[in-house]
Amino acid sequence: MKKAAISLIFSICLNPIHGWTQTNGQTAEIQISAQISSPSIRIGDTLAYTITLTWPGEQNRYLIEELAPPLLENLHLLGTKSELSLFQQIRTNYTRKKYELHLAADSIGPAKIGELTINYYDTKTDKSDSFVTPVYEVKVKATSVAGQRFLWFLLAVMILLGLGYVLRFYRRINRPAAETIPTKTLEQQALQKTFALQGQDPKDLLTGLKKILVEYLESKTGQNLTRKTTNEVLASLEGFENGKREILRQVLEECDRARFNPDLIGQNLAKATVGKFNKLLEPEGKELVE
C-alpha cells in the first residue's frame, strides 16, 4: 500500500477532524489528525499536542509503532499519554488511537514542534507505511500579571513560613534547660506579691499582706497556719530569731487591727507595716527589692 493510495488528513487547526474516509472495497483506509491546544503558551502553562489515528474495523487491523518524541525548540516534554478506544458511526465500527504529548515552554519567544513520523503495519495486506505530521510554530508569552502576582504572593508566604520555622528552631536550641533557670526563693516570691498590693486602701492592703505572710510562714515551716491566731502563729516559729519573731508579731498585730478596727489604720501606717515585712525578707529578697 502506497502513500498515494492512503487518505491522509492533517488537522492543523485547533479543532479535531470530523470527516471519515470510506473503504474502497480492497484496502481499509487509515486517517490521521494532528493538533495543538493553542498557538501560544505562557510561561508556566502546559501545551497539549494531540495526534489521533482512526480506521474502520478492529483494533488489531493496524499495528502502530511506538512514537519517538519530535524535535522541540524552546519547549520540553513533560509527559506522554496514549489511549485506544472503539466506537460506532453509521453502523460501522471504528478504532481510534490517540497520543497526547504535554509540553512546557523554556523561555519567552518563538518555539517549534518538529515533524513526527508515525510508522504503522497493515496486518490484512501485510504492508507497512508511515505518516509525517507537519511542523507547528508556537509563541511563548510571559506569565500574566495576575499569575505573576500570585507567584510573588506564594513566594512571600513561603519565605515567611521558612523564617517562622527557622525562628522556632533557633528558640528551641537556645532555650535554657529547666535546671539552669534560677528558682525564686520564698522571700523573693513574697516580696513580689507585696509589690502587687500597692495602691490599695489600708484595710485591703493589710488583709492581703497577712495572707502573703501566712503563706510565706507555711512554706517556711511546713505547718498549716491559715486558721491560727497571732499568738498561735508566733508560738510555732521556734526556729526564727527573736528579732524576726518580734517583727512578725508587729506585722500580724497591725493586720489584725486593720481587720477589726479599719478606721484606726491610716495609709502611712499600712505602708510602714508592709515595709517592716519587706525588711524582714532581706537580704534574700534584696535583689528583687532593688
Q: Sketch the domain layout of the chain as residue ranges.
A: 3-141, 186-282
Cell numbers at residue 269, please?
501606717
Above 90 in pLDDT, residue 11?
Answer: no
Question: Residue 145: which pLDDT band, with cuts at 50, 70 and 90?
Answer: low
DSSP E strands in 37-188: the ranges are: 40-42, 46-56, 62-64, 72-73, 75-89, 92-105, 109-113, 117-122, 127-132, 136-141
Handedness of CA 157, 159, 163, 169 (dihedral sign): positive
Tell me the C-alpha distance between 85 and 93, whole Å.
Answer: 11
pLDDT of residue 183 exceeding 70: no
Tell which wins on pLDDT, 148 or 270. 270
Rounded CA-CA distance 199/195 in Å is: 10
C-alpha cell of 22? 470510506
CB atoms within 10 A of CB 168: 10
Q: Is the pLDDT of residue 266 over 70?
A: yes
pLDDT-based confidence at residue 177 (cuts at 50, 70, 90): low
* pTM for this entry: 0.43
Pick the CATH number of 3-141 from 1.10.3210, 1.10.3470, 2.60.40, 3.30.379: 2.60.40
